[in-house]
Structure 1
Amino acid sequence: MTKIFGHRGAAGHFPENTMLSFQAAYECGADGIELDVHKSKDGELVVIHDEKINRTTNGKGYVKDHTYDELKSFNAAVKWPEYSFQVIPRLEDVLEWIAKKPLYLNIELKNNVLFYRDIEEKLVRLLRKHKLTEQIILSSFNHDSMLKIARTNPEYEVALLLSDKMHRPWEYANRLNVNAIHPKWYHVNKRYLQRSRQYNVTVRPYTVNRTNMMKQLILNGCDALITDLPDKAVKLRDELLLH
């Protein structure tokens, strides 16, 4: 059965990467949530997508140039006036919330544009502190970062994020001894999924919001899909399973 991951929570209907958005994805029946992690000036792992806070909050500047005390003073729901003030969460806040829930958590390290010293080590320490292994998936466009974690902490599943069309990505994953890829949704078709299965590579395309593509991926047995609209995807999957 195709698993449904809420992209930045339920970002189609709620302010992305907030506890409000994560709770909404959980309540609509998603199997997991996906979120993004940067590092603050004082070393906290914080949940936000962009390198800068300008787009999603009422603050300005780079995440890396603010302490977490400063970051939490900005409203992460500023573009969503129908919702009250939302704090930029620490990753630890999310880990505490998800620890006792039957949810997968896909943590994307946003270290492909800026370099965050020792971010992998800090992430693993937090996961160990909260005794989280089985439900965790780590991903990044920085494949060196993922290989670093895979070599030193093989208990965690890592996935390679792919933005461009790649020739035989399942072979690339096999060469790197990685068993999951997260490609752009429009690169994935029935043959892509078949070949990946032959190589034992899990495929979780992002960001799948169109009904016809959701349906195609589900009917073709895609392992999971990452969507801004987990409520829509869960309902569609369940309807298809009934037939």
Structure 2
Amino acid sequence: MTLIFAHRGSAGTHPENTMSAFHEAARVGADGIETDVQLSKDGEVIIMHDERLDRTTNASGYVKDWTLQQLKTVDASFGFKGNWGKEKIPTLEELLIWLSHNQLLCNIELKNTFFLYPGLEEKVIQLVRAYEMEGRIILSSFNHYSLVNCHQLAPELETAPLYRDGLYMPWVYAKAIGGSAIHPNIRAAPDAIIQASLSMGMPVRPYTINKAAEMKRLYGMGCSAIITDFPKVAVRVREGLNM
């Protein structure tokens, strides 16, 4: 069965990367969530996609220039202002505590391409181990050097390279850097590449799959998972195919 990962939570319907978006993903029956981590000025692992606060909050500036205490004063519901009230920026620890009360998988993307965030890998791995989540966590990044570092630090954790452009035999490349799956932009993953990867035993989890027709096509191919902003739609489409 193709698994459904809710991209930044249910980002199509709720403020992305907030607890309300994660709660919604669980409520509608997603198999997992996808989220993003960076470091605050005082070295705390916080959940935020953009390096800047401007798009998704009522604040401005770089995440790295704000302490956790300062970040907690920001309203992260900005894209959905007024719909659910004020949303706080979660920490990874807060998310892991919540995950300990359910069975969801979690794909943590390390946002360390624009800023390298020294120590991010170690801190994420330390938290995952502290909450005994090793079997439910996938680490991904566009920074493949970081993923190699993660694999060396924690070979028990699954890692998966993210990429936007075509790769020749990506299943070979992923294996070469210690990866256990590939997370391509769907535009860089034609059917032949997905089928070849699956045939070589390499799971494929493309992003961002938001159209029902594309969901059906990937389900029909037996794709390992999809990453979507609309987990409710994805679950409904999958259930419809199983009827």
**Conservation of the 8 A alpha-carbon contact between 1:189 and 1:217:** no
Residue of structure 1 equivalent to 2:187: 186
Percent identity over the alignment is 45
Q: Distance in 2 between matches of 1:224 and 1:186?
A: 16
**Would you say 1:233 and 2:234 are equivalent positions?**
yes
**Conservation of the 8 A alpha-carbon contact between 2:147 and 2:177:** no
Residue of structure 1 equivalent to 2:22: 22
Q: Distance in 2 between matches of 1:213 and 1:190?
A: 11
Residue of structure 1 equivalent to 2:59: 59
Residue of structure 2 equivalent to 1:167: 168
Q: Distance in 2 between matches of 1:189 and 1:44?
A: 38
TM-score (norm 1): 0.97
How far apart are 1:189 and its partner, in Å? 3.4
How far apart are 1:225 and its partner, in Å? 0.2
Q: How many residues align?
A: 242
State the secondary structure of the residue aligned to 2:122: helix
**Conservation of the 8 A alpha-carbon contact between 2:164 and 2:187:** no
1:134-168, CA deviations, whole angstroms, 9 ceiling, x for partnerless residues? 11111000001111111221110000001112222
State the secondary structure of the residue aligned to 1:127: helix
Q: Distance in 1 between matches of 2:91 and 2:153?
A: 24
State the secondary structure of the residue aligned to 1:33: strand
**Would you say 1:129 and 2:133 are equivalent positions?**
no
Q: Distance in 2 between matches of 1:91 and 1:35?
A: 9
Q: Distance in 2 between matches of 1:187 and 1:238?
A: 27
Q: Distance in 1 between matches of 2:152 and 2:242?
A: 38
State the secondary structure of the residue aligned to 2:138: strand
Residue of structure 1 equivalent to 2:35: 35
Residue of structure 2 equivalent to 1:113: 114
**Would you say 1:101 and 2:102 are equivalent positions?**
yes
**Conservation of the 8 A alpha-carbon contact between 1:174 and 1:199:** no
Q: Distance in 2 between matches of 1:70 and 1:95?
A: 21
Q: Distance in 1 between matches of 2:187 and 2:222?
A: 16
State the secondary structure of the residue aligned to 1:180: coil
1:7-37, CA deviations, whole angstroms, 9 ceiling, x for partnerless residues? 0000000000000000000000000000000
How far apart are 1:198 and its partner, in Å? 2.7
**Conservation of the 8 A alpha-carbon contact between 1:3 and 1:225:** yes
Name the amino acid aligned to 1:28: V
1:57-90, CA deviations, whole angstroms, 9 ceiling, x for partnerless residues? 0011100000011001010002212220000001
Runs of 4 or more consecutive aligned structure 1 residues displaced over 6 Å after TM superposition:
none
Segments of structure 1 that go 5 or more residues without pairing to the other structure are none
1:76-87 superposed matches below 5 A: 76-80=76-80, 81-87=82-88
**Would you say 1:152 and 2:153 are equivalent positions?**
yes
Q: Distance in 2 between matches of 1:150 and 1:66?
A: 29
State the secondary structure of the residue aligned to 1:204: coil
How far apart are 1:100 and its partner, in Å? 2.4
Name the amino acid aligned to 1:22: F
